[in-house]
Amino acid sequence: MQDQFARATLDRDAGYALLDELQDEATRQAAFPALEGLAPGFTDWVVTALFGGTYQRDGGLSLRDRQLLNLAALTALGGVEPQLVGHVRSSLRIGMSREEIVESMVHLAPYVGVPKALAGLRAVGAAFAAVDQ
C-alpha cells in the first residue's frame, strides 16, 4: 500500500538554529530554563516538534507569515501573554515593523473581541518596552 501521508520532518538541529534566529536571550530565558527543571525534556520536545517540525514545513508560508499567524492565534487564545510578548519580540527580530504588529492587533479586534485585542496590545507594549531598555 502506498504511503498516503507526507512524512513529518523533525529536525532537532534545525529547530534549535531557528530558535536562535527567532528569540533573543531574554525571551529564551523567560520561556525555557524553568520548564526544564520542572519537566525535563519537554523543552527539547517543543523545540524539535515546533521549530524543527511545523516551522520546517515546505508549505508556502514565510517566516513572517508564520509569526503573523502566531500573533493572531495567541491573541485569540488569550491568557498566554508571556508567549505573546515573546512572539512580538521574535516578530521584531525577523523584520516586522512595530506598525505592522500594532495594526495586526487592531485588525483582530472585531474577530477575537475588543478585550482580547486590548490584552494583545498590552502585550505588544510590554514587548516594545523591554526591547527599548
Residue 29 structural domain: 11-59
Q: Does residue 39 register a pLDDT over 60?
A: yes
Per-residue pLDDT at 78: 95
Co-location of 71 and 127 in the same domain: yes
- Per the structure, the count of domains in the chain is 2
Is there a single domain that holds both residue 67 and residue 111?
yes
Instruction: Categorize the per-residue pLDDT at 52 as very low, low, confident or very high, splitting at 50, 70 and 90.
Output: very high
Same domain, 48 and 78: no
Other Cβ atoms within 10 Å of 22 Cβ, number: 22
Give CA angle at 51 (9, 59), nearest 5°. Answer: 55
Q: 103-126, pLDDT tens digit by residue? A: 999 999 999 999 999 999 999 999
0.85 exceeded by the pTM?
Answer: yes
Shared domain check, 120 and 65: yes
